[in-house]
Structure formats: C-alpha cells, structure tokens
Structure 1
Amino acid sequence: MKVAVVGSGVAGLAATWALNEYSDHEVHLYEADKRPGGHANTVPFSYESKGGSRQTVKVDTGFIVLNPSTYPNFLRFLKLHPSVEILPTEMTFSVTRDSGKFEWAGNNLATLFCQPWRVLDRNMWRMIYDILRFNAEARRLVSKWNKQNTDAWEDYSIGEYLEWGSYSDAFRDNYLIPMTAAIWSTPPDKCALDFPARTLIQFMHNHHLLQLTGKPSWLTFKDGSHAYVNAILSKLPSSQLHLSAVVRSISTGSRIILTTEDGREESYDRVVMACHSDAVLSILKAGGNIQPKEEEILGMFKWNKNEAVLHSDPKLMPRSNIAWSCWNYLTYSTVDRHGERRANVDQVSLTYGMNALQHISKKNVGPVLVTLNPPFEPDPTTVRGRWKYDHPILDGAAIRAQNMMSSIQGTRGITYAGAYLNFGFHEDGFTSGLIAVRDLGCQKA
C-alpha cells in the first residue's frame, strides 16, 4: 500500500520509521516546514574560544531530556540506533518571583533556603509541609487506584483538589502551579483551574515527582535530539520526504486524495495524521467530507503557543547563583483592586539552564540558556535565535476527547497520532505513531 504521513514531529517520525523499516509499504512523509523534526530542534551556538577562534556547540531548543523509566518505546528505538548517543543529566527546579524577591530551588537544603531569611518565613515552612503532605496523600491515592477500579477524582480539577485538601496559597503558587506549568509549558491559570487532578497525580507518580529521594537520573542527547531525526530520515528515500509541503486538504472516496498548497494531488491507500489537532481539523474540513464525530472530537483539543529564545543573558535566571537549576520558573505578582498582591497566572515563563542539562562548559562557553516566553526581553546582543512551539492544553475536555478518539481512529482510512493523545510528551508521541500503523503489519517496530 501507499501511505502518507502528515507531520514530521515525533509521532510522524515514529510512524514513518515503522512503515519504512518494518513493512513493504511505500511511505511518504509530508512536512509544512523546511526543517523536519518538530520539537526535536538542535541548533548551533557559537562562541569565542580562549584562543580567539570561533567554536560551536549543539543546543536543543525544544525536546531536551527524557526519563529512563517512562520512555520505554523511545529508548527501545534508541537502542536500535547506537549512533544516537545519550548521556545522564540532572533535573533540578527553581522558582523566582518578582525578579528575585522570592526564590527557592530544590537541589538541596542550601538552595531551598537560598534566601537565608526565609528560615523565619512561616509561608515557606507551610509550603514545605504541604509538599510533604501532598506527596504522601497522592501516593496513597495512586496505591488505592491501582488496587481498586475506581473513578475517584476523575472529574475534579487540581484546583478543586487543592481546595478540598486546604492546601496553602504558598504551596499552590510557589510549588505546584510552577511545576505543573513548567512540565506542560502551559499558562498557570489553565493548570490551576482546569487540569484534571487524577491525571496530574498519576503523571507525577509515574515520573517520580512525588518522592524526594531515589529519583532516577534523566537523559539527554550527546549531539542533540536531531540526531535521532537524522537516523530515521537517512533510511527514507529522498523522493519520499516532502519538506516545505503544506497539506491543504484530504478527501476520501475509493482512494484518499491529498492536496498540497501548491495544488499538487496525490492518491493514497492510508493516511496518518501526525500533525496537531487544529491542523488536522483544518485539513479535513477543506477536504469537504469531514464527519461530525471527527469535527466534534478534534475540536475539543486546545493548544498553547510558546516562544523559545536561545540566549546567554543571566538576568533570566535566579538572582541567587546557588539557586541556578536546570529548570528555572520565572513569575511575577500582580496587585488586585483591593491592593493585595496575587500570583501572576497569565503566562508560563521558564529558563532551561543548558550548561547543566547538556554538559556545556560554562567556563569555556559562558551561560547557554533557553527561555520559554521571556517575561522581559533578554539583552539583544546575547540572543541567538527564536522558535515557536505549540503545546497541548490537557484540560478536562482534552481528557474526554482522548477517551473518544478510538471511535474515529481508522475510519475513512485515516489514523491519528500525536503526543496530545496522552500526556503530551515525546514518548507519548512516539508511541502513538507506532500504534497508528500497527494494523499495517508493523507490529515488530
């Protein structure tokens, strides 16, 4: 059969890899951008060496780390491609509010109290107490869910869960919301108000975020995440890779007709839609015969647009040097009409410390930073590039849509793949790509 895969992010790459290497089908991969890979975007960072010559290091700006305990399929793929080298890395977290007026980092006791006067701060101690209480209660809930087939907390948001447990504002605003917003690159207000409590708790348990000790090390790529993209595409005939090819419409009948923006038409036996749900919806609508259930389910997913800026401006890191971490959440307070200071929950801002994450020498290269949605512009002389990345908003509607996807998968010869169909991470995208082509004889993949 002739199969089209639309979208060269991780889901599309997984589907393409499985079809190309584990089946006799002819697979064609379409990508709207001139660059394949989606969030796997490795770029050069140039610097002047001590000898005065220009040198470069490779830096990831989207997909940076993976967890050895929760990326089984992706790691199995990497083991089949030993040329794609991975290294252990750290995963530390800090919060900075109001340009350093409030800061903490979870590396150790010294960084937790990087502002020594916080030892006398009741809110700080209440936050610590609530972290321990939340972790313990969440572990008990997960154990209960694993033993019993119960839908407890299925329909409650994390905001409602926190209210039920009488958790403090300090815990909510300076720990859980920053961590949740950072993990999913989603505005904090959407995390606090809409994120399903059970989904979040189960995710935190799976990723060992409910324990303070015994956490597994994380992994990163020695030569950048684009190494795995190249490993897949190097085996695909160049005539079957279509870059800068915007798919305008897909219509179905005896064959599936795929039309690109330049007016070219190709017919296929099957199509894997591995782009974001809003793009899928637009393409199917343009085809003229989208089904009501397809439109309903795909329309339930929402997306958040983020900008990643590669730079070396330390003002977008914690003010206290000992608080510098791999993930550094930046936020600001606002004053309401009653004059009370409130947490700013409008935007997620996060700086990734790439020196620690990807083993880049700070002494030789200087600070290498990637900031998601900078709260203020970094020094323009330090900026090396900007990229746009969309992330799924996993609210209650998205979880319901995920549970409904099976009713449209495979109908009209179209299957759907993407990280948005689960937790939104690279492993989820990779696994969904494999599942999308499983019935095409790719079970060995």
Structure 2
Amino acid sequence: RSNLWSPRFYGLLSEILRFNRRCKALSAQGVPSDLSLGAFLKQERFSEFFAQHYILPMGAAIWSATLGEIENFPLQFFIQFFHNHGLLNIQDRPQWYTIKGGSKQYIPYFTREFAQQIHLNTPVKAIQRTQQGILVSTEHGTESFDEVILACHSDQALQLLSDASPQENSILSAIPYRENEVVLHHDERLLPALPKARASWNYHLSASRTQPATVTYSMNILQRLDPAAPQFCVSLNNSAAIDPNKILGEYRYSHPVFSQTMVAAQARRAEICGQRHTHFCGAYWYNGFHEDGVKSALDVCQRLGVSL
C-alpha cells in the first residue's frame, strides 16, 4: 500500500509501459542481432531503478542467470521470448497451465508405445560414426544403428561423441549448461512476509551481480492447492537460507546459459543436425523449456520423414 504514495513506483509503472511499447515496435521492425538487453536499456535511457528492480531480475528469475548475464542477453532473443509469452502485455496475458500431479505425469503417456524398448540404468559411454553405421557403446557392449538421436543436453551430447566434427565441437561447446540447486521445503521465510505479496514466482537478489537470482516458487499457488494445505516451496540456489528441519527434498538440475554466443550457435543448427546420420534434440535449440524440447523433437521427426 505504501507504493500508492511513492513517485518512484509510478515512475516504474510508466517505464514498464514504455519498455513494452518499445519492444513491440522493435519486434515489428526487426531487432539488431548484435544488440544486448543492457545496451538497449542504456540506449533508450531507462532508469537504473527500472533495470535493477524490474527487467533484469525478471530475466534472471526466468533463466536462472546472474544480473550481469541478463544484461548481456541478446535483445532479439529476449524480445522474442517476452512477446511470445505475452509478457509485453499488461492485460490479456496468456493463461498458464500445469499438469495435474506434476510434469512427471506425461512420461508414462509419452513412452507407453515403446516402454519395453527403453534400457534403464544403461548409460552410453561413447558414440562413433563409421562406414558400417553408428556404433553406440555401453557397459553391455556395442551395437550398430542406422541413425542416432542425442536427446540430451548439448554438453552431454558433445561428451558422448568420440569423433566429434569441428562444427559439432564449435556449436555444442557454445551452448553451456549451469547446474542449479533445487530444494523442496516449507520454510515460509523465503516468501514475502505479507501473504498478499506472495506470487507464484518470488525472487531475491544478492548484493553481488555475479550471483544468480534466487527464486522461490509457491507451489500452493502454482498447483492451486487446498487453502488449508501447508505451504510448500521450491527454492533455487538458496539452500543455505533454508531451515534444514523444513527441507523435504534436495535436487540438482541443469539449465542452458543464454548469451549472444549461444544464439549464434543456435542459428548454425543445420550444420550438424542430420549430418553423418546424427540428430541433436533438446530444449537448448529454443528457449530452454519443456515445450521447446518437444518442438526440437518434432524437428527431428520431420527431418527423418516421420509425421505425428
């Protein structure tokens, strides 16, 4: 409520509207491929308060990045993502949906037609392309295939290829991943103190610009849990601040690190995808989300002449 009497707050709202209008205009005109978000903010004379308390933290929360990394984010990619997700609108934003029971629920449906062909606990040690076919080696031996699809992270794919080409080395190494700590807990101290101020995503910034933003998701809001249910939280990269007695589970996940270099590598996908009977599939070819993994998989299907 104190914001109602804050001139700075009204200034922030004005800048949000201006930023949205300017980005929509640029989206229609074309965005320079070499322009970063930080350079754009300076060029358009957006305030430091707007940058540090709105747009950079929002980007850092979405991509689990540092403020410095978001400043160097390609503006073209940033605007494209925000425009596609309705984040440049104040009203009429798209409705987000969640899968009942969590995203793990789609795995059985996805695999039901070929579940018996999945080899669990059988990590691939190496992949080699030869005149006789694609050789895939595991601890159980080596098998030959006509085609290979590497549906994994870019760095994992490069590590698996024992005979990576210069193009594969160049492109895949330009798309790095960062590991994030993920903790499920019910320590409400990591949420805003006022219940009315709590959102699905709640971010916290450290004093250092080199540290990733820490984000705490309110699972009660995201999953629309019963109002009487205890508060469940999922926090990224902030395990030290959580009461150990309130931790329910700890996990580690990796996410792609977006940069100008990565976007340039994405544009070179055709140089390696489908070459030497090898196909690279992953969310890293797009925006890094679940849907992007599916989109990338459909690209591979189309390349192989398969329609779904």
Between the aligned residues of both structures, percent identity stands at: 34
Task: Indicate if the aligned counterparts of 2:183 and 2:239 stay in contact, CA closer than 8 A.
Answer: no
Q: How does 1:341-352 map to 2 (within 5 A)?
A: 344-352=209-217
Higher strand share: 1
2:300 — aligned with what? Answer: 436
Name the CA distance, whole Å, in 2 between partners of 1:428 and 1:231. Answer: 18
2:257 — aligned with what? Answer: 393
Task: Indicate if the aligned counterparts of 2:67 and 2:213 stay in contact, CA closer than 8 A.
Answer: yes
Match of 2:49 among 149, 159, 170: 170
1:224 — aligned with what? Answer: 102
1:248 — aligned with what? Answer: 125
Alignment length (residue pairs):
307
Name the CA distance, whole Å, in 2 between partners of 1:434 and 1:392. Answer: 20
Q: How does 1:346-385 map to 2 (within 5 A)?
A: 346-363=211-228, 365-374=229-238, 376-385=240-249
Aligned partner of residue 384 in structure 1, secondary structure: strand
Match of 2:179 among 305, 316, 319: 305
2:148 — aligned with what? Answer: 271
Equivalent position amino acid for 1:435 in 2: D
TM-score normalised per structure 1? 0.66
Task: Indicate if the aligned counterparts of 2:283 and 2:293 stay in contact, CA closer than 8 A.
Answer: yes
2:32 — aligned with what? Answer: 153
Match of 1:181 among 43, 46, 60: 60
1:138 and 2:23 equivalent?
yes
Shift of 1:263: 5.0
1:319 and 2:193 equivalent?
yes
Shift of 1:383: 0.8
Task: Indicate if the aligned counterparts of 2:181 and 2:239 stay in contact, CA closer than 8 A.
Answer: no
Name the CA distance, whole Å, in 1 between partners of 2:201 and 2:47. Answer: 23
Q: Which runs of 4+ in 1 moved over 3 A?
A: 118-123
Equivalent position amino acid for 2:213 in 1: V
Name the CA distance, whole Å, in 1 between partners of 2:159 and 2:17. Answer: 46
Q: CA offsets per residue over residues 181-224 of structure 1, 9 Å max, x none?
A: 111222222111x2101111121111111111111211011122
Q: How does 1:331-350 map to 2 (within 5 A)?
A: 331-333=205-207, 344-350=209-215
Aligned partner of residue 153 in structure 1, secondary structure: coil
Task: Indicate if the aligned counterparts of 2:64 and 2:212 stay in contact, CA closer than 8 A.
Answer: no
TM-score normalised per structure 2? 0.95
Task: Indicate if the aligned counterparts of 1:317 and 1:324 stay in contact, CA closer than 8 A.
Answer: yes
Q: CA offsets per residue over residues 49-85 of structure 1, 9 Å max, x none?
A: xxxxxxxxxxxxxxxxxxxxxxxxxxxxxxxxxxxxx
Gaps of 5+ in 2: none
Shift of 1:413: 0.8
Q: 1:187 to 1:245 in 2, by over 3 A?
A: farther
Equivalent position amino acid for 2:221 in 1: A
Higher helix share: 2
2:290 — aligned with what? Answer: 426
Equivalent position amino acid for 1:242 in 2: H
Equivalent position amino acid for 1:369 in 2: C
Greater relative CO, 1 or 2 (CA 8 Å, sep 6+): 1
Aligned partner of residue 242 in structure 1, secondary structure: coil
Equivalent position amino acid for 1:352 in 2: Y
Gaps of 5+ in 1: 1-112, 146-151, 335-343
Shift of 1:373: 1.1
1:259 and 2:122 equivalent?
no
Equivalent position amino acid for 2:125 in 1: R
